[in-house]
Chains A and B, each alone.
Chain A
Amino acid sequence: MITKRVIPCLDCDLQVPEGRVVKGVEFKEIKYAGNPVELANKYYEEGADEIVLLDITASREKRATMKNVVEDVTENVFVPICIGGGIRKVADYIDMLKAGADKCSTNTAAIHNPELINEASEVVGTQACVVGIDAKRKYVDNSKENDDKNIVETEKGYCWFDTSIYGGTEFTGMDAINWAQECQKRGAGEILLTSMDRDGTKDGYDIELTKAINDAVDIPVIASGGVGKPEHILEAFEIANASGALAASIFHFNEYPVPQVKEFLKDNGVNIRI
């Protein structure tokens, strides 16, 4: 059977020539985890199933830098590579795939122009079209408050999930479950789902969110945002049935190295590639 994927994510600051991996996006104390090429190689050697490179600056003028990083990474890394941040046109997908990437993730650009998903999937194939959804809980008093929203029951009460853009700084009022289904219809091959409530907290993924989106679509869903220990990844697989789990900070600085996480998951009955 197919295995669950453990996916290290490198948040890349491209303001320096070779890029650098940022740990945590808190404003006060930015820590640098290292060079993206070196870290990607390290995670590949350790058995990462896939690697995500996110351009956190998401700036058009740094496209060439990102392309160079992808070219350098894929020279020695032979697992799938997904690129996110700053993908706005079909030409951006093509550029990144030619540099050696396998998938591109769009977020804000897909919300502003949903046709991008249709166009890109026709040109590069659905397997290369990942849509990133950043969702945040909006609590409501009862399960019937909004007719056009999918209300989910959580341990903290009823809520729906609002889709955010620009890395969680703006909210669209779009129901994330409806949006995920629309992405699938338009040709997305995968959803990279980040909880804006949990991102950076280390309290664990938003399992209710992950399960709700995963149940609503037939394409694979990757859980993201909030992982602090291997047990959180186990929850994403066991309870929410996510296809993959993305994590950043736990892998940097060897808090929980990839092999240790995969051994833990395997020992707990998850089908894992070791």
Chain B
Amino acid sequence: MITVIDYGSGNLRSISNSFSHINVESTITNDPEEVAEAEYLVLPGVGAFGQIMKSIEPYKKVIKEHVDDGKPFLGVCLGLQALLSSSEEAPGVKGLSIFKGEVKKLPNDNRMLKMPHMGWNRLDMTLCEPKKTCAIIDGIVQDYFYFVHSYYAAPDDEEVIAGTVKYGFDVTAVLHENNVYATQFHPEKSGVSGLKMLKNFVTMSI
């Protein structure tokens, strides 16, 4: 059973549709007690860092307990950024600090790139040596995924970066450490590749 935290971030229908499509039962809940009982936990997210940290306040404790218990956790897009310690988008606001480090604004020197970074980009495992193998992108390390963001994760320990994409430089696309997985892209909007990634996540043994 997959539990998706509903803290008011809007489009959760696509995530639950994706799980249905791969024949996995999922529940969307805003009840911290239900979140505490999750086997697999998903933190989705669109919007801004300051707002997500405020909205997930009631779930911070149970998220940390879930992670400390070694149960599978997946953060998506802003749900990845929330795992860092802080963000340039909202100075002074504390993140979950599950990964130590900062979320920074994507650099755009000389206005060479469009902002936000919006569209399909390919996981880049050729130019940037993968630091480690990562179960959720097993078999899809060269695939295209859908991104939309203006900030990126810069963890202190680069070893946790399991995938990057090129957008001016190597942008963090996947973070992974032990039972914690997070993607900057939206698997629920990334076609067959995204569905495969979700399938990888839910078929990991607990």
Contacts and interface: CB of A to CB of B under 8 A. Distances in A.
Interface residues of A, number: 35
A3 interface: yes
Contact of A189 (B111, B118, B165): B118
Q: Counting chain A CB atoms within 10 Å of each CB, which of B17, B18, B20, B165 scores highest?
A: B17
A74 B21 CA distance: 11
B108 to A, nearest CB: 7
B172 to A, nearest CB: 15
Interface of A: 1-5, 44, 47, 49, 71, 74-76, 78-80, 94, 97-102, 124-128, 189-190, 218-220, 243-244, 273
B120 A78 contact: no
Contact of B117 (A2, A5, A74, A124): A2
Given A1-B122, A3-B122, A78-B21, 13 more contacts: A3-B120, A5-B120, A74-B13, A79-B191, A94-B10, A97-B10, A124-B46, A124-B47, A218-B114, A219-B114, A219-B116, A243-B119, A273-B120
27 contacts: A2-B119, A2-B120, A3-B119, A3-B120, A3-B144, A5-B119, A49-B119, A74-B13, A74-B14, A74-B17, A75-B20, A76-B21, A78-B18, A78-B188, A78-B192, A78-B194, A79-B146, A80-B146, A80-B148, A97-B11, A100-B14, A127-B149, A189-B116, A219-B114, A220-B119, A243-B118, A273-B120
A99 B10 CA distance: 9
Considering the complex of A and B, which 3 residue pairs feature the smallest CB-CB distances, nearest first? A273-B144, A100-B13, A127-B148
B108 A2 contact: no
A97 B18 CA distance: 16
Contacts of A79: 146, 189-191
Interface in B1-31: 10-11, 13-14, 17-18, 20-21
Given A44-B191, A79-B191, A218 B108 contact: yes
Given A218-B115, A243-B119, A98 B14 contact: no
A100 B118 contact: no
A244 B11 contact: no
Given A3-B120, A218-B114, A98 B10 contact: yes
A99 B114 contact: no
Nearest to B118: A220
A230 B65 CA distance: 53
Nearest to B167: A2
Contact of A219 (B14, B115, B122, B189): B115
Contacts of B194: 78
B121 A3 contact: yes
